[in-house]
A and B are shown apart, each in its own frame.
Chain A
Amino acid sequence: GIQVEQSPPDLILQEGANSTLRCNFSDSVNNLQWFHQNPWGQLINLFYIPSGTKQNGRLSATTVATERYSLLYISSSQTTDSGVYFCAQLRAEGGSEKLVFGKGTKLTVNP
């Protein structure tokens, strides 16, 4: 089945630093989403990005579908960026769709 692997598992930064989170997936991409889970547990959609590059403020994401990976860039990190970042790939079969999640990257941004 689909495998989604994220790295690194943990990342500690000082405020203002930049970071790159990686997501490798085993199957061709139908739909790749990045989420941020904040310390209160909420899952927040960041990007829907099956291919190409998108930017939203200090965050940007790039998916290279032919090489089966996606990158999430966080620039000028802030303490509010702390939390767990998940990537998830859509698996569609038999008239249904489900997201297969990686194990996440836990980001801690220190002031």
Chain B
Amino acid sequence: DSGVTQTPKHLITATGQRVTLRCSPRSGDLSVYWYQQSLDQGLQFLIHYYNGEERAKGNILERFSAQQFPDLHSELNLSSLELGDSALYFCASSVATRSGGARDTQYFGPGTRLTVL
């Protein structure tokens, strides 16, 4: 158990709908990262939040947004869903940004498997 929790584990929805994925980081971790794993694109970085602030965006669609709340949990919102959004969405956490040593290790949650029909 990595200490990172994600809900729900599975989500099945229809095209055009909107869903929210939730992540709680490990106790003490200030950074939350979201990654998407799809069959054709592999594991790709979406977005990084540090202590409530957005720090970096990767290959994240405009239909997707995220936020990190004062209690440090994070939500990834996916809207106007398309078939191609079906994927495994991972959240990861680490202690801080730009810190040295083992504290940079990112620990991954169990993922949310999204199926868009």
Contact = CB atoms under 8 A, between A and B. Distances in A.
A42 B111 contact: yes
B43 to A, nearest CB: 4
Interface string B1-44: 01000000000000000000000000000010101000000111
A94 B56 contact: yes
Nearest to B56: A96
A101 B43 contact: yes
A65 to B, nearest CB: 15
Given A97-B98, A98-B56, A45 B107 contact: yes
Interface in A63-111: 86, 88, 90, 92-101, 103-104
Nearest to A92: B98
A31 B105 contact: yes
A95 B98 contact: yes
Contacts of A95: 50, 55-56, 97-98
What DSSP secondary structure best describes chain B's contact surface?
Answer: strand
Nearest to A93: B56
Contacts of B104: 30-31, 48, 90, 97
Interface residues of B, number: 28
Contacts of B2: 44-45
B105 A104 contact: no
B106 interface: yes
A48 B2 CA distance: 14
A94 B53 CA distance: 13
A48 B107 CA distance: 11
Nearest to B31: A97
A42 B104 CA distance: 20
Given A41-B111, A90-B104, 20 more contacts: A31-B104, A41-B88, A41-B110, A43-B108, A45-B107, A48-B104, A94-B55, A94-B56, A95-B97, A96-B55, A96-B97, A97-B94, A97-B98, A98-B33, A98-B56, A99-B33, A99-B35, A99-B92, A100-B45, A104-B42
11 contacts: A31-B105, A35-B108, A41-B88, A95-B56, A96-B55, A96-B97, A98-B56, A99-B92, A101-B43, A101-B44, A104-B42
